[in-house]
Chains A and B, each alone.
Chain A
Amino acid sequence: MDAQSFRELLLSRLQQNRDRVLLRILLSPGAEPVELTGADILSRAPELARRYQAAAESSVVLLLLPHSVELFLLHFGLILEGRLPAILAWPTNRIDPEKYQRNLLHQLRHLPADQLITLPRLATNLAGGVHFPVTECRVENARQLEESFRIPLPLEVPEGEPARPRAGDTPADAIFLQFSGGTTGAQKAVAVTASLLAAQLESLRRCLAFTAEDGVASWLPLYHDMGLIACLWFPLWCGAPSLHFSANDWLLNPELLFRCLDRYRATFCWLPNFAFSYLAAQRGRMKQSYSLGHVRAWINCSEPVRLRSFREFAEAFAPWGVTVESLQASYAMAENIFAVTQTPLGLQPRTFPRSRLRHRAAAFQETAFDLLDDVYVSSGPVLEGMSVRVVNPQGEVCADAEPGNIQLRTECLFSGYWTSGGFITESIVNGWYSTGDYGFLAGEDLYVIGRLKDIIIVGGQNIFPEDVELVVNSIDSIYPGRVVAFGINDEQYGTERLAVVAELRGEFDAGKAEAVERRVHQLVLSTIGIAPRYAAVVPERWIVKSTAGKISRRDTRVRFLRERLNQPQVTAG
């Protein structure tokens, strides 16, 4: 399917559902949602896109907007108008506006885009520093957000010419870009093509037996594949309604999700693992009771699935109709557009005892830290038309229950990343893509243990330790290059927390170390968007190096856990 055929198909599906509400966008917890039928999307989305677009057909248009009706409509409108929208992460309201904008400017100068659409004040601040047009888009209820970007002008523009876009970079049938990681320097996006997206949505529809009578409620942001593909595109493609509200509103008002599921009879809910524990922990605060028995599937995705989180959720909400059979799991990634596996609905996901795993291959000792549980929870069998295998460091296919590198060969597999260097084709050998995830197959089921790459997953968000280390290294008092970032399990919320260890330059002084620790907290939060749970400024030579003289994140983490968090049982293996 080419991009034009896809657009025609999308138009025809919107036309078929012209009188049906397909989108509900809740702008604040106490308000009524804005409702958009197929006809509303058909008329308003292209009109809005035409009003703001300043780039030629097939060009990349970055969208940097808060949760708003405009963000949803511009995403669809730009696609229908033949542009390639790419949604950038909107910062949390805890981020420092000035540092955020400087970091953003640095990123934007290196992206081969053709236009940015953002809030007026941000547009004013950024316009002089990038090589493409920056267009103002007014958004309802954004006055407070606009105020936060009131900084002294001009914003300091880095020296040197900004990167220029390279023509014809993306695949010909691309319809939008989906960012897959990188918070400071290494922004990269997957080019979502018409054929890949259609294959993913159809595969998911068959697997979940999803119909127009179903519905989705979500607080997941659209710059995340789970928010964009599973919660927005998938129901819309099937003619079913979806309701969206902001993650910020959900954090302080977790029961808002249940209120929406109940009121709009939504039947599917995708959540990262931590959200199951978080919701269960907040049960006592919830003021009302809800009817949730109609929810066909609560799908745990984007973090390794933990049995404990499932149990807490099921126990807390059983009185409202949540059953263990409705708790499901999926393994998904932007590189595959979304889902690779899915547990069968109506059955509890299988578990596999940790003690029954076959040996762990020696060469995987550098594996990033897996999430320890007594049992692993299955992410289910692969979807139709997809294949998964697990290989050892020699590239040999592993036996059943033997962990290794998870590889995919699917009809939804991307071909490369759109990066600061243009579109870079990913190395895919004989059709197999190495995910960098560590897991095993047992029977037909895939079990995901953790990451081979040093990625920290905090609340479903991927954090690259290199990004954090780069930011902390910019602090004067830190010994250059002697910074390590890693993840630490948070048992309460079933996710990871970010820890940073940095060596103080010169003679160690506890008072000075404490002041620098505060600086580390503030700087990481303001630039990366995630607050470190732990920031330890330590004397010189505290950080552990390997015998080859290279800093070891893994061994430094072990030392930190033993000496700072009093967990003597922790080992590196």
Chain B
Amino acid sequence: MLNPNQVRKAAQEVVAEMIGKKVGDADYLISSGLIDSLSILKLIGNLENRLSVTIPAGDLQPDDFESVDFITDTVLRVARSR
């Protein structure tokens, strides 16, 4: 069972690594151009490794990864243990 705080922390760290700086949890990542569309699957892969889960991306939309808040919700909703 994933802990929301653990997921949020992982999301914050993965995002910060990818864009080279910390952002606020509500800051837009994709529509602001900080993360581009080709990098979304990389972000998902990094989250999976960090949390040891599988995130089925096939039915998700880029909007589901729009901010740390959204990422946290999405991971908690769809992630499955490996």
**A interface residues with partner B (beta carbon < 8 Å):** 29-30, 92-96, 248, 251-256, 274, 278, 281-282, 284-285, 459, 493, 497, 518, 520-522, 524-526, 530-533, 535
Contact = CB atoms under 8 A, between A and B. Distances in A.
A251 B31 contact: no
A188 to B, nearest CB: 26
Nearest to A29: B58
B60 interface: yes
B31 A282 contact: no
Contacts of B44: 285
A252 B61 contact: yes
Nearest to B45: A285
28 contacts: A30-B58, A30-B59, A93-B61, A93-B62, A94-B62, A95-B31, A96-B31, A248-B62, A251-B41, A252-B57, A252-B58, A253-B59, A254-B41, A278-B38, A284-B45, A285-B41, A459-B38, A497-B36, A518-B32, A518-B34, A521-B34, A522-B32, A524-B33, A526-B31, A531-B30, A531-B33, A531-B35, A532-B33
Given A94-B62, A252-B61, A493 B38 contact: yes
A252 B38 contact: no
A252 B60 contact: yes
Nearest to A526: B31
Given A252-B61, A518-B32, A522-B31, A92 B38 contact: no
Contact of B30 (A94, A281, A459, A497): A94
Nearest to A96: B31
A251 B38 contact: yes
Nearest to A251: B37
B62 A252 contact: yes
Contacts of A252: 40-41, 57-58, 60-62
Given A285-B45, A525-B32, A532-B33, A29 B59 contact: yes
Contacts of A521: 32-34
B60 to A, nearest CB: 6
Report which residue of A251, A252, A274, A532 has the largest number of chain B beta carbons within 10 angstroms of its beta carbon. Answer: A252
B63 interface: yes
Nearest to B27: A518
Contacts of A285: 41, 44-45, 57
B72 to A, nearest CB: 18
Contacts of B57: 252-253, 285
A497 B31 CA distance: 17
Contacts of B38: 251, 274, 278, 459, 493
A522 B36 CA distance: 11
Nearest to A255: B58
B32 to A, nearest CB: 5
A547 to B, nearest CB: 34
B76 to A, nearest CB: 18
A95 B31 CA distance: 6
Interface string B20-34: 000000001011111
Contact of B31 (A255, A278, A525): A525
Nearest to A282: B41
Q: Which 4 A-B pairs have the closest CB atoms?
A: A521-B33, A531-B33, A525-B33, A531-B36
Given A522-B31, A522-B32, A525-B32, A94 B37 contact: yes
Given A497-B36, A525-B31, 20 more contacts: A92-B37, A93-B61, A93-B62, A93-B63, A94-B30, A94-B37, A95-B31, A251-B38, A251-B41, A252-B58, A252-B61, A252-B62, A253-B57, A253-B58, A255-B58, A256-B58, A522-B31, A525-B32, A531-B37, A535-B33
B47 to A, nearest CB: 12
A329 to B, nearest CB: 21
A254 B45 CA distance: 14
A254 B44 CA distance: 14
A533 B30 CA distance: 12
B40 A251 contact: yes
Contacts of A282: 41
Contacts of B33: 520-522, 524-525, 531-532, 535
Nearest to B28: A522
A524 B28 CA distance: 15
A255 B58 CA distance: 9
B19 to A, nearest CB: 10
Nearest to A459: B38
A1 B77 CA distance: 58
A310 B35 CA distance: 26
Contacts of A94: 30-31, 37, 62
Contacts of B37: 92, 94, 251, 531
Contacts of A281: 41-42
Contacts of B59: 29-30, 253
Nearest to A532: B33
Nearest to B64: A252
A483 to B, nearest CB: 16
Contacts of B30: 94, 531
Report which residue of B28, B38, B59, B62 has the largest number of chain A beta carbons within 10 angstroms of its beta carbon. Answer: B38
Nearest to A524: B33
Report which residue of A93, A284, A285, A493 has the largest number of chain B beta carbons within 10 angstroms of its beta carbon. Answer: A285
A525 B32 CA distance: 7
Report which residue of A281, A521, A524 has the largest number of chain B beta carbons within 10 angstroms of its beta carbon. Answer: A521
A31 B23 CA distance: 37
Contacts of A497: 36
Contacts of A254: 41
Nearest to B21: A514
B57 to A, nearest CB: 5
Interface string B40-53: 11101100000000
A284 B37 CA distance: 19
Given A256-B58, A285-B57, A533 B63 contact: no
A290 to B, nearest CB: 14
A92 B61 CA distance: 12
Nearest to A531: B33
A478 to B, nearest CB: 16
